[in-house]
């Protein structure tokens, strides 16, 4: 019902953005040869692609404006009695761009036409927004590793990949092409992604859905600072892709891109190549269905990958360790029964855990370096379809409808004798559609409506066919997932569970734009309904952790692998799986004005209101905890066995009223003012000084409450510290209530109870943005921009254990570890993971870019960012994913952001090589050559080194002690072998004393930098049988041309034998790609 009503609004209501994400504006002044304004001059604008015409009259100051224009090439005709008719052609409009075209009329006969073919200046003289636009030439010609248009965002200043150098997210339940970007120091998923002006987001994680393949993309843009009032719900910036459309000319292409292992280099750590076979084939076709009225565009791409993984390696227990022999290890292991070291550092055979020995049968023995190496098939199939219709009903009405579908499957197979080579069979289906209507109501008054819908289904199933019970472990196993991890040495024995995610979003945008005199007013609203449904068996078979504290003693931190061989875990958790049915309604109303104060000065100001309701659950699975209620003994009337202090949907609130669906109260005072200016000091449109300030709010991802339903009473969940791998419920039999499927007023609650709660008064995260920018046109089509950009984020989400155990100095570390729950201040509970909103971050930067628009066969875009980003936590996480390391003092975690790249340079170019025109053969050989490339240089990521052995006895996150004052990272001018073996001086670190956090601050150390060059070479050949535009192309692309090894962060496990070593790469070795394209 809501969807149908929304569709009706799109067609009939006068609404949406005065200038949407996929439109642009032309403005300027009409004057005589002496500079005097000519009021009332007739201005006619014509689209070269579709023939659409707009008309306007210059106002009393001689100024005119055309807004909400589809991107493309336009011509302007100005007519006024007693003056010659003036025509400007070849005016290029790019997405969300304000192009200034001033026209001086010559006195004379109106029947005489003065025609000029000249592109407008790139300098922005009307808006304070910082943005970068990647035009069609760059989109299709730049070498993109994987042909993912989202990678183009990394060309802009202030933008960096978040956790990896490419920003790729690899997950069995998230589609290929998902990216995580940080813009100006933001968190990992605070960026808004749009397609043709409508949302293109996976609101589960607030990341992008797949964008169309490059051949179907017309333009790509990134807004990084001081976005206009119509932009909301995501505070960092906005990425928008505009798809190609049909025109009055039939156009299209056919393509085939291919990779093969014989063309590629090997990974630095591999002993064989990746066995890659990759094909991407497809086509596009666009043209008129009815000339000047109805236009169609469509495309299809198929992705087919067959490859082995290359030499993958994992750390596993050595042959000696499997026999209990740790004599070669420098760490002394203690017998937990006697408190004395094991003789010879060897565990007696009769003390080895049968379950541990059984699990090791599916974990192959490693080589001499401690690694099990293997390959596994990684097949992938993908299909993408896109279709678009543009209808020009009249000069007043235009309609757009576009649909994008993306399907992906990963038919992996898992071997039965090697759990590490097991993979998940994944399937992804994503759909995105948008319908928009633009209505020119009268002179200066434009309305626009847009409805967008996004739907995504993800399934992942592991075909590893053994459960923990097959290895002699006495637990109920609802699935075949196995989760055993040794947290310090890096060893693990894991298989993936079955997961299923279904999410959808419907979005409506409405806006009016009215130009009156020197003011352009915009007002409207944005509304989005999101949902997320999950049904998985995650951790329903249990999860074990071993951290070394069992075999610790004296000065020794113990060794987690020895704990595993003894079968004595540090923690064990089990639950009934995850059931989520989350809903979210985001909304925003806004008003803004672009005030043309004078021919040289424009002021932008406005206000956006974003009232916020926290997530709800259709099954009313929400809980809240109040310490005052606990102390007063207030208990739930909905769930009778709940521990005091916990209240649920429907319970009476002691403070008045009833606990509602979203247990966090509404945050309705989210006012976001925005102010900016643009000053053209010389009035010629070739230089601008711009600046602005704005406040932006963040709607949290639906994933923020993930795991919150994994606790009683919605799912029965247990968390134990210290116990037996073979029989984790021994001595705790009353807690073993699995399987448990029925939940109601009498649902059981474990004691002590682990739970997840959030602050009852939720404050929405917000970011303040500001910039001061100078732009100058150096030569025609070339612009230099220098900007200072800053941000400050407040009320960022964090999580901490509200019931963290208080260390007892009168007990030994071992005794404190054995009494974790007894030392918690709120008895009856174990962990109380509380969401709160008290963190902040800051970012300051110098940003410089040089952009030469495509012309005369050449374009270049370079960007340089010098920045510093500080925060306390860098990611937006789900519940229990990353609690703060010190629950007693959050602010000791202040340090460099994970997203901080102090220096980053990206340069790109496309060059059409001039042909030698003397002689037919010479001309044929030398014509239609193109060269392009992308060079990326950036400093490394910051990282920490955490302590091992649980020195805080129940509180994770302690860091190591740093000895001395000099930088422990060793010089970079050493040989590659020396750097790999010792990235930093491992003698400078040791575990802290009991009940201390360690002296090493958060993110003090900087990892390896990144350097990469991608190149493309294209040779064209004419195909006259396909018409004047008929052209064939042979393409040769090389990624990481010089085969530079870009390393990931070093191993940070202080008790790990590989501590301080570089063990993996972040980025591909050299990859070559060949392609054939036919264009017409």
What is the longest distance spanned by two Cα atoms in the chain? 109
| Domain of residue 83, residue span | 2-117
pLDDT of res. 112? 66
pLDDT tens digit sequence for 666-703 = 788 999 999 999 999 998 899 999 999 999 999 888 77
pLDDT of res. 984? 94
| Residue 304 CA from chain centroid, whole number | 25
CB atoms within 10 A of CB 973: 7
**H helices then E strands: how many in the chain?**
9, 56
Q: Two tokens at 917?
A: 């025109």
Q: What is the DSSP string of 122-190?
A: ----S---EEEEE-HHHHHHS--TT--GGGGGGGSTTEEESSSSS-B--BTTB-TT-B-EEETT--TT-
pLDDT of res. 72? 87
Task: Give me the CATH number covering residue 57.
Answer: 2.60.40.1120
Is 432 part of any domain?
no
Tell the residue number behind the tokens 């579709």, with chain if given: 50
pLDDT tens digit sequence for 861-899 = 999 999 999 999 888 876 666 678 788 888 888 999 988
Q: Where are the beta strands (DSSP E) in 946-1030?
A: 961-962, 989-990, 1005-1006, 1010-1022
Positions of the chain with pLDDT lower than 50, given as ranges: 1-19
pLDDT of res. 345? 96
CA distances, 961 to each of 21, 554, 998, 1001, 1054 (Å): 50, 18, 5, 9, 11
Is 38 part of any domain?
yes
Are 482 and 467 contacting, i.e. CB atoms less than 8 angstroms apart? yes
Is 57 part of any domain?
yes
Q: Where are the beta strands (DSSP E) in 940-1030?
A: 942-943, 961-962, 989-990, 1005-1006, 1010-1022
pLDDT of res. 725? 97
pLDDT of res. 417? 81
Is 101 part of any domain?
yes
pLDDT tens digit sequence for 972-981 = 788 888 999 9
Is 21 part of any domain?
yes
pLDDT of res. 1? 41
pLDDT of res. 16? 31
Is 85 part of any domain?
yes
Beta bridge partners of 635: none
Cα 1045 to Cα 1050: distance, rounded to the nearest angstrom: 14
CA distances, 603 to each of 37, 120, 600, 774, 831 (Å): 21, 21, 10, 16, 52
Phi, psi of 538 (to 5 degrees): -60, 125
In this structure, the strands spanning 623-625 and 646-648 are antiparallel
Cα 301 to Cα 146: distance, rounded to the nearest angstrom: 13
In this structure, the strands spanning 103-105 and 753-758 are unpaired
Is 502 part of any domain?
no
Nearest by Cα to 763 from 963, 610, 950: 610
**Structural domain total, the chain:** 1
pTM of the shown model? 0.85
Are 45 and 74 contacting, i.e. CB atoms less than 8 angstroms apart? yes
Is 853 part of any domain?
no
Cα 301 to Cα 940: distance, rounded to the nearest angstrom: 35
Please give the helix or strand (H or E) that residue 400 lies within, else none: strand 397-410
């Amino acid at each position: 019902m809501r969807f149908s009503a929304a569709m009706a609004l799109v067609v009939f209501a006068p609404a949406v953005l005065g200038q949407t994400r996929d439109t642009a504006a032309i403005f300027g002044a009409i004057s005589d040869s002496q500079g005097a304004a000519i009021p009332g001059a007739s201005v006619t604008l014509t689209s070269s692609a579709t023939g659409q015409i707009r008309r306007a009259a210059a106002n009393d100051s001689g100024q005119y404006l055309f807004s909400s224009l589809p991107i493309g090439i336009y011509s302007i005709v100005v007519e006024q009695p007693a003056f010659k008719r003036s025509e400007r052609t070849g005016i290029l409009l790019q997405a969300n761009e304000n192009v200034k075209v001033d026209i001086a009329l010559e006195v004379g006969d109106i029947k005489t036409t003065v025609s000029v073919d000249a592109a407008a200046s790139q300098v922005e003289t009307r808006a304070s927004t910082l943005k970068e636009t990647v035009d069609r030439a760059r989109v299709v010609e730049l070498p993109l590793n994987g042909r993912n248009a989202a990678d183009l965002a990394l060309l802009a200043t202030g933008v960096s990949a978040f956790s990896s150098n490419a920003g790729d997210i690899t997950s069995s339940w998230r589609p290929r092409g998902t990216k995580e970007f940080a813009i100006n120091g933001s968190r990992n998923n605070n960026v808004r992604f749009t397609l043709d002006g409508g949302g293109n987001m996976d609101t589960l994680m607030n990341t992008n859905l797949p964008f169309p393949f490059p051949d179907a993309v017309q333009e790509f843009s990134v807004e990084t600072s001081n976005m206009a009032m119509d932009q909301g719900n995501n505070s960092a910036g906005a990425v928008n892709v505009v798809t190609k459309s049909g025109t009055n000319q039939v156009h299209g292409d056919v393509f085939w891109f291919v990779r093969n292992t014989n063309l590629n280099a090997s990974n630095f750590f591999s002993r064989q190549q990746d066995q890659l076979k990759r094909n991407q084939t497809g086509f596009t076709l666009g043209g008129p269905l009815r000339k000047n009225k109805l236009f169609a565009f469509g495309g299809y791409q198929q992705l087919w990958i067959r490859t082995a993984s290359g030499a993958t390696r994992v750390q596993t227990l050595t042959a000696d360790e499997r026999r209990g022999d740790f004599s070669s290890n420098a760490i002394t292991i203690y017998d937990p029964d006697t408190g004395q070291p094991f003789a010879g550092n060897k565990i007696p055979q009769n003390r080895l855990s049968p379950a541990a020995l059984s699990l090791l049968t599916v974990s192959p023995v490693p080589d001499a370096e401690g690694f099990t190496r293997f390959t596994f098939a990684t097949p992938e199939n993908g299909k993408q379809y896109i279709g678009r219709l543009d209808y020009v009903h009249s000069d007043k009405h235009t309609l757009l409808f576009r649909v994008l579908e993306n399907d992906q499957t990963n038919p992996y197979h898992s071997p039965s004798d090697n759990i590490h080579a097991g993979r998940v069979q994944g399937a992804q289906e994503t759909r995105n559609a948008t319908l928009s209507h633009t209505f020119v109501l009268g002179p200066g008054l434009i309305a626009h409506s847009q409805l967008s819908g996004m739907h995504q289904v993800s399934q992942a199933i592991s075909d590893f066919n053994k459960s923990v019970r097959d290895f002699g472990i006495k637990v109920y196993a609802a699935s075949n997932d196995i989760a055993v991890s040794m947290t310090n040495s890096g060893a693990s024995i894991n298989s993936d569970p079955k997961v299923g995610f279904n999410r959808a979003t419907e979005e409506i945008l409405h806006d009016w734009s009215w130009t009156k005199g020197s003011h352009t007013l915009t007002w409207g609203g944005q509304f989005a309904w999101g949902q997320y449904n999950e049904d998985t068996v995650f951790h329903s078979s249990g999860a074990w952790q071993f951290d070394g504290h069992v075999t610790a003693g004296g000065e020794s931190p113990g060794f987690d692998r020895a704990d595993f061989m003894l079968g004595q875990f540090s923690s064990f958790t089990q639950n009934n799986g995850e059931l989520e049915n989350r809903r979210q309604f985001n909304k925003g109303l806004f008003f803004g004005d672009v005030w043309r104060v004078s021919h040289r000065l424009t002021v932008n100001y406005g206000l956006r209101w974003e009232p916020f309701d926290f997530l709800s659950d259709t099954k009313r699975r929400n809980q809240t905890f109040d310490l005052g209620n606990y102390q007063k003994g207030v208990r739930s009337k909905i769930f009778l066995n709940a521990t005091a202090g916990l209240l649920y949907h429907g319970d009476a609130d002691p403070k008045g009223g009833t606990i509602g669906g979203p247990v966090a109260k509404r945050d309705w005072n989210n006012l976001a003012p925005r102010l900016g200016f643009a000053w053209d000091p010389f009035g010629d449109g070739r230089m601008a000084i711009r600046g602005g300030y704005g406040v932006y709010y963040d709607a949290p991802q639906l994933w923020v409450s993930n795991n919150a339903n994994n606790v009683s009473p919605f799912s029965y969940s247990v968390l134990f510290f210290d116990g037996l791998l073979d029989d984790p419920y021994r001595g705790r039999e009353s807690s073993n209530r699995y399987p448990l499927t029925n939940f109601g007023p009498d649902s059981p609650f474990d004691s002590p109870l682990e739970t997840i709660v959030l602050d009852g008064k939720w404050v929405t995260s917000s970011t303040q943005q500001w910039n001061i920018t100078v732009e100058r046109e150096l030569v025609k089509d070339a612009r230099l921009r220098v900007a200072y950009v800053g941000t400050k984020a407040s009320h960022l989400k964090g999580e901490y254990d509200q019931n963290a155990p208080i260390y007892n100095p009168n007990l030994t570390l071992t005794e404190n570890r054995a009494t974790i729950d007894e030392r918690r201040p709120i008895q009856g509970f174990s962990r109380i993971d509380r969401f709160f909103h008290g963190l902040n971050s800051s970012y300051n930067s110098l940003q410089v870019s040089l952009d030469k628009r495509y012309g005369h066969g050449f374009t270049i875009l370079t960007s340089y960012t010098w920045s510093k980003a500080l925060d306390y936590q860098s990611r937006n996480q789900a519940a229990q994913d990353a609690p703060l390391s010190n629950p007693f003092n959050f602010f000791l975690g202040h340090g460099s952001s994970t997203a901080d790249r102090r220096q980053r340079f990206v340069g790109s170019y496309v060059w059409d090589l001039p042909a030698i025109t003397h002689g037919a053969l010479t001309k044929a050989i030398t014509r239609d050559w193109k060269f392009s490339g992308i060079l990326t240089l950036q400093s490394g990521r910051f990282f920490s080194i955490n302590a091992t052995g649980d020195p805080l006895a129940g509180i994770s996150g302690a860091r190591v002690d740093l000895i001395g004052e000099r930088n422990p990272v060793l010089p970079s001018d050493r040989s590659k072998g020396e750097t790999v073996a010792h990235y930093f001086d491992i003698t400078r670190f040791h575990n802290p004393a009991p009940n201390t956090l360690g002296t090493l601050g958060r993110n003090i150390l900087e990892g390896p930098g990144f350097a990469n060059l991608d190149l493309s070479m294209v040779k064209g050949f004419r195909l006259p049988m396909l018409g004047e535009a008929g052209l064939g192309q042979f393409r040769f692309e090389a990624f990481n041309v010089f085969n530079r090894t870009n390393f990931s962060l070093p191993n940070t496990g202080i008790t790990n034998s590989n501590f301080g070593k570089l063990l993996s790469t972040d980025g591909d070795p050299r990859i070559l790609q060949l392609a054939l394209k036919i264009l017409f």
